[in-house]
Amino acid sequence: MKFDKQFIFGTATSSYQIEGAHQEGGRTPSIWDEFCDIPGKVHKSHNGNVACDHYHRYEEDIQIIKSLGVDSYRFSIAWPRIFPEKGVYNPEGMEFYRKLASRLREEGIKPAVTLYHWDLPLWAHKEGGWVNRDSVQWFLDYAKVCFEELDGIVDSWITHNEPWCAGFLGYHQGVHAPGHTNLDEAVKAVHHMLVSHGKAVEMLKKDFQSTTPIGITLNLSPVYPKTNSANDLLAANNSDGYSNRWFLDPVFKGTYPVDMMNLFSKYVHSYDFIKDGDMETIAAKCDFFGINYYSRGLVEFSAANDFMTKGAHSDYEKTAMGWDIAPEEFKDLIRRLRAEYTDLPIFITENGAAYDDVLQDGKVHDQARINYVDKHLQAVSDLNEEGMNIRGYYLWSLMDNFEWSFGYDKRFGIVYVDYETQKRTLKDSALWYTEVVKNRGTVLPLNA
Ligand code: PNW
């Protein structure tokens, strides 16, 4: 694999997953703080109260990022640090991100900043959260102060991370905060997230006259039918509609997919939450497109489910999440995006794998993670040879962290975190990634 000098190598994290300091600097709870307290929702009732204590250890963490030699670091801002109460701006919360972004820049690392990585302030949730259309304005108020205070020291903005997870896992499947199971709510929540995305893009460009690149990150998973039966093909089409097209179509074509609107209408009573001009807003032109890729879907028809189709068993090798390792399908996905949706520069804003890592004698031999990342980077390199214009790759994650409903049970980091002592240890994958970045792709054998 080979990458040119301009290619951006990075690592990624998000606020709730690493920061801790849940009651410091004026922060109030988010929906995740509350969700973690609901019995049975999060593995062993883990929460983000301390997490990786990054809020206090960010200087040390920046030194680790620097030692990796990466070009960029992707992190997210915790909205409840910025607006702890409705309409109340908290400059102390902003100070943390100003210090973080400035220190990164001093070390030559480009900050790529996500505004919404799922930690909705609890005050907003109490007023209906994303289901309430007012959430669009709340988000814009929040985005505005972030742009005012940080545009200029941030290298790129990402409005939303994975509205599929925030919307469908949160309001439809109930496995993420706020834990609701109502499709009618979920499509409204998604719609308001997407409108807030489009309006934030317009604000940065028109009101701020800023040239900082801005985009959105979607998690996409190409879906395949278990067999070529008509039923399985239908199941795959519907699952693709639920996971991918419900987001890609509005963002790039300014429409929701009609087949899915019809399917959803069993649960969605009316679409009149879509106001005049909304679809044009959602399709506001961005500067890049962010993709988080982990795995493919393999589905089979089940009479009980029309679009949340049944995951089929596959004989693919899997990560500790049980997710198929599927780099070829990643290539299919990118080729399809180029053919059907967009020529925008693409950034892989997340890719990585969880494994059951063991720390022994100060080392973690995570060859399986190296293999995973190696295969996917090879795919990126191949895709660029085909002219697919992928401009960067952010490995998820910089360090082990709070993996949402799996708590601290699943480790995605290339840096191992001992949650008792907060000691960080570079895994073999971190040492390997450092070499890849340094050599712009040439893989050296690792004498681990
Ligand atoms: C992403 N799924 O989440 C998030 O952006 C990260 O915060 C997270 O830690 C990472 O991937 C690893 O999971 C996802 O169920 C969560 O398909 C769930 C799914 C996909 C992505």
ipTM of the complex: 0.91
> From the CB of 384, is ligand 1 less than 6 Å away?
no
CA distances from 119 to 28, 81, 376, 412 (A): 11, 10, 29, 20
What pTM does this model have? 0.97
Is pLDDT of 141 > 70? yes
Is pLDDT of 286 > 50? yes
Q: Evaluate whether 300 touches 235 at the Cβ level (below 8 Å).
A: yes
Q: What is the pLDDT of residue 444?
A: 63
Is pLDDT of 447 > 70? no
Contacts of 302 (CB under 8 A, 6+ apart): 235, 309, 310
Give me the CATH number covering residue 95. Answer: 3.20.20.80
Does residue 3 form part of some domain? no
Is pLDDT of 309 > 80? no
Does residue 446 form part of some domain? no
Contacts of 309 (CB under 8 A, 6+ apart): 235, 236, 238, 239, 299, 300, 301, 302
Q: What is the pLDDT of residue 205?
A: 98
What does the pLDDT average to over 286-313? 89
Does residue 2 form part of some domain? no
What does the pLDDT average to over 421-440? 97
Among residues 76, 61, 58, the alpha carbon closest in space to that of 17 is found at 76
Does residue 407 form part of some domain? yes
Q: Which atom of ligand 1 sits closest to the CA of residue 118?
A: 7
Q: What is the pLDDT of residues 149-196, one digit of tens each?
A: 999 999 999 999 999 999 999 999 999 999 999 999 999 999 999 999
Q: Which atom of ligand 1 sits closest to the CA of residue 169?
A: 15
**In the chain, what percentage of residues exceed pLDDT 70?**
99
> From the CB of 349, is ligand 1 less than 6 Å away?
no
Q: How confident is the model at residue 445 (pLDDT cuts 50, 70, 90)?
A: low
Contacts of 261 (CB under 8 A, 6+ apart): 268, 271
Give how many domains the chain has, as a whole number. Answer: 1
Q: How far apart are alpha carbons 305 and 362 in whole angstroms?
A: 48
> From the CB of 244, is ligand 1 less than 6 Å away?
no
Residue 89 marked as a ligand binder: no
Q: How far apart are alpha carbons 370 and 428 in whole angstroms?
A: 8
Q: How confident is the model at residue 448 (pLDDT cuts 50, 70, 90)?
A: very low
Q: What is the pLDDT of residues 64-110, one digit of tens each?
A: 999 999 999 999 999 999 999 999 999 999 999 999 999 999 999 99
Distance 401 CA to ligand 1 centre (A): 12
Does residue 447 form part of some domain? no
What does the pLDDT average to over 428-434? 98
Q: How confident is the model at residue 304 (pLDDT cuts 50, 70, 90)?
A: confident
Helix spans in 133-245 (H): 134-150, 163-164, 170-171, 183-202, 230-240
Q: How far apart are alpha carbons 383 and 389 in whole angstroms?
A: 8
Residue 117 marked as a ligand binder: yes
Active site residue 300: no
Q: Which atom of ligand 1 sits closest to the CA of residue 412?
A: 12
Q: What is the pLDDT of residue 305?
A: 72
Q: Evaluate whether 160 touches 197 at the Cβ level (below 8 Å).
A: yes
Q: What is the pLDDT of residues 359-371, one digit of tens each?
A: 999 999 999 999 9
Residue 244 marked as a ligand binder: no
> From the CB of 9, is ligand 1 less than 6 Å away?
no
Residue entry with tokens 């907060």: 422
> From the CB of 71, is ligand 1 less than 6 Å away?
no
In this structure, the residue with its CA closest to atom 7 of ligand 1 is 14
Instruction: Pick the catalytic residue from 19, 149, 162, 185.
Output: 162
Q: How far apart are alpha carbons 176 and 162 in whole angstroms?
A: 12
In this structure, the residue with its CA closest to atom 18 of ligand 1 is 165
Domain range for residue 225? 8-439
Residue 137 marked as a ligand binder: no
Active site residue 185: no
Q: How confident is the model at residue 285 (pLDDT cuts 50, 70, 90)?
A: very high
> From the CB of 165, is ligand 1 less than 6 Å away?
yes
